[in-house]
């Protein structure tokens, strides 16, 4: 029985690189593709170090139909995990056309190429952002969907496109995974989150303050309807998220019908909860200032993860302390991310 071959798009990105390692450990063959528009080729060196094998990789843009056709002609691919997408909420408000062209164009090109090569098992990287401002907490998969920015709209539209594709041809089987807030890093400290420019997300901003790259954290509002007034989110360890993708692929490759599932812990933590947990885990202080709310932010957002547990046999097991310990190890070993070799 030959190992199933899985194509990862956006393969050198934060969540994809961790998923790559988890898939190899689970016995899958992996082919990575990325155009390095938001990631570093150095990730491939780190994956080689961690896996003991040279990663099978091709540089290409998933929007490039000719390149994707050539890739599928030269490699046997049983399933794909589609991570490649632009993901910065603020940037999507400034450049909506880039987001629609890249995020929707890439998905459509990938699906067209897959179908042409009789490959119809797809795991899609969706996001809790499709829930907009949640009416009920914890959030179930049948909650109302709404987009509050072009990035979130591309995720919602992508889900609709995939549901139409599946309706049109029942040979397709898909897992639409709605991530909550991914944080943390591989326990080696060799791979982790390395945002370009000023981090949009909370954890990389915290770690850059702790390592001295930035002076102070800005806490976006403390007048939300939460216990301490700061925004509450469902932070999930990226290694748990990676395991969720392995579980989803195993599910699809057993010929099971499509699923849409929340990948979260089911627990909410506020901004200040995370700051304090990080200070305890790292031994570093994270000075902060309370500033006005960031437009578009919601008070609280955390998952009901019971469907993934019931159907995929998956649940997140790592707690907020290990998320902080692992985030700190990555950042303290790589003060400049992938731009420089890791500190010993």
CA dist 238 and 117 (Å) reads 31
Which of 134, 184, 231, 266 binds ligand WQD (CB under 6 A)? It is: 231
Say if strands 29-34 and 5-9 run parallel, antiparallel, or are unpaired.
parallel
- 330 backbone dihedrals φ, ψ, rounded to 5°: -60, -50
Among 70, 93, 147, 201, indicate the residue that binds ligand WQD (CB under 6 A): 201
Tell me which of 205, 314, 330, 338 binds ligand WQD, using CB under 6 A: 205
The only residue of 297, 307, 311, 319 in contact with ligand WQD, by rule CB under 6 A: 297
Query: Which of 89, 238 has the CB closer to ligand WQD?
Result: 89
Q: Which stretch binds ligand WQD (CB under 6 A): 109-117, 139-147, 160-168, 218-226?
A: 218-226
Q: Which is nearer to ligand WQD, 119 or 219 (CB)?
A: 219
Q: Please confirm, yes or no, whether 224 is among the known catalytic residues.
A: no
Strand 300-301 relative to strand 232-233, pairing: parallel
Give which of 308, 296, 302, 304 is closest to 146, Cα–Cα: 296
Q: Which of 151, 179, 205, 235 is catalytic?
A: 151
Q: Taking contact as CB under 6 A, which single stretch among the options 114-122, 186-194, 201-209, 316-324 is the one that binds ligand WQD?
A: 201-209
- Total of chain residues touching ligand WQD, rule CB under 6 A: 17
Q: Please report how close the Cβ of residue 49 comes to ligand WQD at its closest, in angstroms.
A: 27
**Using CB under 6 A, which of the segments 26-34, 76-84, 217-225, 320-328 binds ligand WQD?**
217-225
Q: Smallest Cα–Cα separation from 260: which of 301, 305, 300?
A: 305
What residues between 76 and 135 interact with ligand WQD by CB under 6 A?
87, 89, 127, 129
Q: Which of 70, 117, 211, 220 binds ligand WQD (CB under 6 A)?
A: 220
| Binding to ligand WQD in span 245-274, by CB under 6 A | 271
| DSSP secondary structure code for residue 26 in this structure | T
Pairing of strands 181-183, 235-237: parallel
- List residues near ligand WQD by CB under 6 A: 87, 89, 127, 129, 181, 200-202, 205, 218-220, 231, 233, 271, 294, 297
């Amino acid at each position: 029985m030959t190992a199933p071959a899985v194509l990862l798009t956006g393969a050198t990105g934060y969540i994809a690189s961790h998923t790559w390692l988890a898939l190899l450990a689970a016995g899958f063959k992996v082919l990575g593709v990325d155009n390095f528009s938001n990631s570093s080729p150095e990730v491939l060196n780190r994956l080689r170090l961690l896996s003991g094998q040279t990663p099978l990789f091709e540089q290409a843009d998933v929007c490039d139909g000719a390149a994707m056709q050539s890739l599928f002609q030269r490699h046997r691919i049983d399933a794909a995990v589609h991570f490649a997408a632009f993901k910065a909420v603020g940037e999507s408000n400034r450049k909506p056309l880039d987001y629609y062209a890249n995020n929707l164009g890439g998905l459509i090109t990938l699906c067209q190429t897959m179908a042409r090569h009789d490959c119809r098992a797809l795991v899609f990287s969706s996001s809790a952002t499709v829930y907009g401002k949640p009416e009920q907490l914890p959030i179930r998969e049948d909650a109302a969907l709404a987009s509050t920015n072009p990035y979130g709209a591309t995720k919602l539209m992508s889900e609709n496109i995939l549901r139409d594709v599946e309706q049109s041809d029942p040979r397709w089987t898909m897992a639409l995974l709605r991530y909550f807030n991914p944080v943390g890093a591989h326990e080696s400290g060799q791979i982790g989150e390395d945002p370009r420019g000023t981090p949009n997300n909370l954890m990389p901003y915290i770690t850059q303050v702790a390592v001295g790259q930035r002076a102070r954290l800005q806490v976006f509002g403390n007048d939300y309807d939460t216990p301490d007034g700061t925004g509450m989110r469902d932070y999930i360890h990226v290694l748990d998220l990676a395991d969720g993708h392995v579980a989803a692929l195993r599910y699809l490759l057993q010929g099971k019908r499509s699923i849409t599932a929340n990948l979260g812990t089911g627990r909410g933590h506020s901004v200040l909860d995370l700051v304090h947990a990080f200070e305890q885990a790292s031994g570093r202080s994270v000075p902060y200032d309370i500033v006005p709310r960031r437009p578009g932010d919601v008070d609280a957002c955390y998952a009901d993860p019971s469907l993934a547990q019931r159907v995929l046999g998956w649940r997140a097991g790592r707690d907020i302390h290990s998320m902080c310990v692992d985030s700190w190890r990555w950042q303290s070993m790589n003060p400049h991310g992938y731009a420089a070799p890791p500190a010993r």
